[in-house]
């Protein structure tokens, strides 16, 4: 029983970890940085990779494909660097409906600054930076801010997660009610049948044992 309980906990732990990773990758975040430059680089990309925007010829491509990708180079206040890709998401996943990567590149170029005269900006993005896998977060927008200590409140994430938790809770309550009305009675009937069969088998065994004793 304890082993089954541990298996259940591990299963649900893995499920929750996957859901958390999915949300963390796809939900928007913001980073206050200083833009140091913008560039366009030729990248060799797996057309089926989930970490790059789908290209027009992805459906027919085999192997790696080469295409130009816009990048925005930035530096944090603590000196750490952050490189963003700047790709349209179109109508695909995640559903940000971004079609203005060229305009965003122009805005970022206009906000380039130096360490001696910094212009701090808030970059809204989604995704992860994984250097070993050459994975970059995708920039969604940039806007100037007063300084690196500007407080940014993630209102969208707060509302989205609140609604998501409310939906999960409501679905869970209805599933439990449905289970009590339909599944639990069915299981109870099954338990009663098993008990009847077990009792009948025990009676037959006792009867046979009694006949052997009489003989």
List the domain boundaries for the chain: 28-152, 153-215
What does DSSP assign to residue 93? Answer: S
Distance between CA atoms of 15 and 120, rounded to whole angstroms? Answer: 38
pLDDT of residue 131: 94
Looking at the predicted structure, is the pLDDT value of residue 2 above 80?
Answer: no
pLDDT of residue 177: 83
Instruction: Tell me the mean pLDDT in the region 194-198.
Output: 72
At the topology level, CATH places domain 28-152 in OB fold (Dihydrolipoamide Acetyltransferase, E2P) (2.40.50)
pTM of the model: 0.79
pLDDT category of residue 3 using cuts at 50, 70 and 90: low
Which phi-psi region, left, alpha or beta, contains residue 127 (left: φ > 0; alpha: ψ -120 to 50)?
left
Instruction: Tell me the mean pLDDT in the region 3-30.
Output: 91
Instruction: Tell me the mean pLDDT in the region 83-87.
Output: 98
CB atoms within 10 A of CB 3: 7
């Amino acid at each position: 029983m304890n082993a089954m309980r541990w298996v259940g906990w591990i299963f649900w732990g893995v499920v929750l970890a996957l859901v958390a990773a999915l949300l963390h990758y796809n939900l928007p975040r913001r980073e206050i940085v200083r833009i140091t430059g913008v560039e366009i680089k030729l990248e060799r990309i797996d057309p089926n990779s989930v970490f790059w925007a789908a290209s027009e010829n992805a459906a027919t491509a085999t192997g790696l494909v080469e295409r130009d990708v816009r990048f925005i180079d930035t530096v944090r206040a603590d000196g750490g660097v952050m490189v963003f890709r700047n790709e349209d998401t179109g109508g695909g996943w995640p559903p940000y409906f971004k079609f203005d990567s060229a305009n965003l590149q122009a805005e970022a170029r206009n906000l380039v600054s130096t360490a001696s005269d910094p212009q701090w900006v808030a970059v809204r993005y989604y995704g992860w930076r994984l250097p070993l896998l050459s994975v970059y977060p995708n920039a969604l927008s940039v806007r100037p801010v007063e300084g690196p200590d500007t407080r940014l409140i993630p209102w969208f994430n707060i509302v989205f997660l609140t609604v998501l938790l409310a939906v999960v809770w409501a679905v869970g309550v209805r599933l439990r009610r449905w289970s009590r009305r339909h599944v639990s009675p069915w299981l109870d009937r099954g338990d009663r049948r098993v008990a009847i069969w077990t009792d009948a088998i025990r009676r037959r065994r006792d009867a046979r044992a009694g006949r052997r004793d009489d003989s």
